[in-house]
Chain A
Amino acid sequence: MSKEVLVIGGGIAGMQASLDLADMGIRVHLVEKLPSIGGKMAQLDKTFPTNDCAI
């Protein structure tokens, strides 16, 4: 029986899920295929509808 979680993909969805679980005290392994996390959102200049800087 394991109390840990595997998250596959380090885009905005995977990062948010990992943070939520980690904040609940659950150990998370986040696997990302590229050299850095961030996903597509890291490539965006700003995001709608607030035009905040993406990451």
Chain B
Amino acid sequence: MLDVGRHPNIDLLAYSEVQHIEGQAGNFKVTVRKKARYVDEDKCTGCGLCSEKCPTTVVDAFNEGLGMRRAVYAYFAQGIPSTRTIDPDHCRQLNGKKCGICQKVCQAGAIDYTQQDRLIELQVGAVIAAVGYDVFDPAQIAEYRYREIENVVTAIEFERLLSASGPTSGHVYRPSDLNAKAEIQVLEKQAAKSGRMLARFEKKYGRTSADFFMQYQAAPTDDADQEKWARVYQEDLARKERLAALNDAVKDAATAKRLAFIQCVGSRDFRFYPFCSGYCCMHSIKEAIIANEHEPQTVSTIFGMDIRAVGKGFEEYKIRGGNKSGITYVRGRVAEIIEGPGRNPVVVYEDTRTRSVKQEAFDLVILATACAPTRGIAELAATLNVALDDYGFIKTVPSAPVDTSMRGIFVCGCAGAPMDVPESVAQASSAAERAAEIIFQSDPVKEKAVA
């Protein structure tokens, strides 16, 4: 990543999109829209003071919604380019409210609320589309109750929970506990505020809130002050009750140690994608191995029709996971996930080896979601004038796996089909080579002679 940012031959246009393209192989005219960051990339030193002081918090997409960030933010800590960006949907200043704090604190003078989108014109000989994929939204599979049961997560969410730089610093706490703790924080702040209000009333009228409220209930008055006191007191009681329940729920909060991985969520499923996404068996094994490295008591069950460990060193990895990292492989398709006592998800499945329907409770269930075409790929394909396949990936043929339907435009990685990192890298080198052929072939003298 750093090499890309530093290479003298690479012009990095981040926070940008291709708006228009015309021409043919050897000669494409491209218009790129560079979106306004409201931060001057060249001036910003990446010190982070602006984010520290920004009063607006926003759900953090990089952490898959498991944490929060500020309205002026770095997409992730080591992101390249190392500049901040202001989120125009949430920033107060950009939405007509009073703020401007980040501009005041920025020593580099990098904040610019008047920045506009810029259009950049490019002339290129070849194009490579490497727009990747999206994680399939498992809420589409009603029987897995992804949105309803808090302790059912996707594999990419689990990656963030495992990551030392993630929202839990690599400790696998359960979302039910994380959410409860976040709610406790909010409620405690509110409780402190209402506590101060009640203290003021008590001082003013020289009696306790409880005494006042008993009398008020017996004989309500329409005095505005007293009405307010009664309301605040009632709300305070309800809040304290909720806080007690939440604190009780999290008092024995422990990291998740019994994990279930469910394979082929959206893949090899005729309701969604009939194909195999290829990398998910391997990432479930990987995540189970890492979880066990973090906490050696962790045991995992991987539920799948079969485990597809096709690649160099993959089968050995799978066997090592079984022998050394507490993984049990169960052949069967999971029918349903329900919520049991203790916020534990319960997996209902058929064990095809014993031909019986079984149930088992876990601390956390991880869904190995399918590789879906990235949002916006249809618009991009229309802009580039390349064909898509039946599922919405960029169309290729087996004998020319990085060529699109348009000469001079190539594809690599998950933009063309689901594949893992080693395959994406191999395809990338292949696409680079195909593009270079066009560049080196396009001899201007010869072209002129033809024209």
- Write 23 A-B pairs (CB below 8 A) sorted by A numbering: A2-B27, A6-B124, A7-B127, A9-B415, A10-B4, A13-B427, A14-B131, A16-B412, A16-B429, A17-B431, A17-B435, A19-B4, A24-B432, A29-B11, A30-B13, A31-B13, A31-B18, A35-B74, A35-B85, A38-B80, A43-B62, A46-B286, A48-B285
Q: CA–CA, A29 to B124, complex, Å?
A: 9
Give chain B nearest CB distance to A19 CB in angstroms. Answer: 6
Q: Is the pair B162, A5 in contact by a Cβ cutoff of 8 Å?
A: no
A-B pairs, top 6 by smallest CB distance, nearest first, are: A13-B413, A36-B79, A14-B130, A16-B428, A20-B432, A22-B9
B75:A36 contact, CB within 8 angstroms = yes
Chain B residues near A24 (CB-CB < 8 A): 432, 436
In the assembled complex, the Cα of A35 lies from the Cα of B44 at a distance in Å of 14
Q: Is B180 an interface residue (CB 8 A)?
A: no
Other-chain residue from A35, A44, A55 in contact with B159 (beta carbon distance below 8 A): A44
**Residues of B bordering A, CB below 8 Å:** 1, 3-5, 7-18, 26-28, 30, 32, 37, 62, 64, 73-76, 78-81, 83, 85, 122-133, 156, 159-160, 162-164, 166, 170, 282-283, 285-286, 289-290, 311-314, 316-317, 376, 380, 412-415, 420-421, 424-425, 427-429, 431-433, 435-436, 439, 442, 444, 447
- Quick check: A6 and B127 within 8 Å, CB to CB? yes
* CB-based A-B contact count at 8 angstroms: 242
The CA of A35 and the CA of B159, in the complex, are separated in Å by 21
- Determine if A31 and B132 form an interchain contact, defined as CB atoms under 8 angstroms apart: no
Q: Is the CB of A48 within 8 A of B413?
A: no
Q: Is the CB of B79 within 8 A of A29?
A: no
Q: In whole angstroms, what is the CA distance A4 to B425 when docked?
A: 21
